[in-house]
Amino acid sequence: MTLSQSVLLFGSAAVAGAINSVAGGGTLVSFPTLVWMGVPGNIANATNTLAMAPGSTGSAIGYRREVAGVPKKYLLLLIPSLIGSIVGGVLLYLTPQKMFAALVPYLIIFATTLFMLQDQVRRWLRTEDSEEKEATTGWLIGAGCYQFGVAVYGGYFGAGIGILMLAALGMLGMRDIHQMNGLKNVFGTLTNGAAAIFFVFVGMIHWPAAILMSIGAIVGGYGGAGLARKMGQTAIRRLVILIGFAMAISLFFKR
């Protein structure tokens, strides 16, 4: 990498880390940057997954008190999260480079759309006329199948899985948004972590970029969070949506 490329990668990861600490969606900044630099899409995706992992782990730890109060049976969803993420990672590994490159703009549009709908889903999950309900065994099995599909997508691409997991927990009857965010972060950490380990094992990581971006994400998450909070979640979300769609359109033209 040249010096300018290194600065760009570090900067994009720092911005992604700051965005993730406040609103989520940082992947829509860091991943396309790798692709624009000429890193093959599947390698860029694997590298970004590894680089952003420390931030998601920190978020999961931050919600440890909320997760401690969640009924233990919800933790059964960790099993499909683990299996699905590995399946998704294997699918990415087996996908030809040219095919994944063609899919990248559509994946970014899909993830950006999910991110754009996040507020609407959160409002739906927090409706005052709906009470916390205990999930039945049938609902839990259905949620496990759904979570498996989410984890496959997470291992394959990853951006936007948070909103998909929140929807599943809402359908199970959960209404405490803090507990839901805690579980979402735990599932997301396992999904991204398992996929990242698989990518390391099969040699899909661009190590110079991964190391640089990991440092950038940590620095951005810690130092940039204050600035991001001053901007406010609404401004941050609009910025992420704008960047996501702009990156997707630019990658269409680049092809």
Tens digit of pLDDT for each residue in 9-35? Answer: 999 888 887 777 665 677 878 888 898
Return the SS3 of 183. Answer: helix
Residue 5 has pLDDT above 50, yes or no: yes
In this predicted structure, the answer to whether residue 85 has a pLDDT above a threshold of 90 is: yes
Number of structural domains in the chain: 1
Question: Tell me: the pLDDT tens digits for 145-184?
Answer: 888 988 998 889 877 677 777 777 776 777 676 777 778 7
By residue range, what is the domain housing residue 143?
A: 3-254
Q: What is the pTM of this model?
A: 0.76
Return the closest-CA partner of residue 219 out of 17, 9, 6, 12: 17
Measuring CA to CA, which residue among 59, 149, 15, 92 is closest to residue 31?
Answer: 15
The pLDDT-based confidence of 129 (bands split at 50, 70, 90) is very low
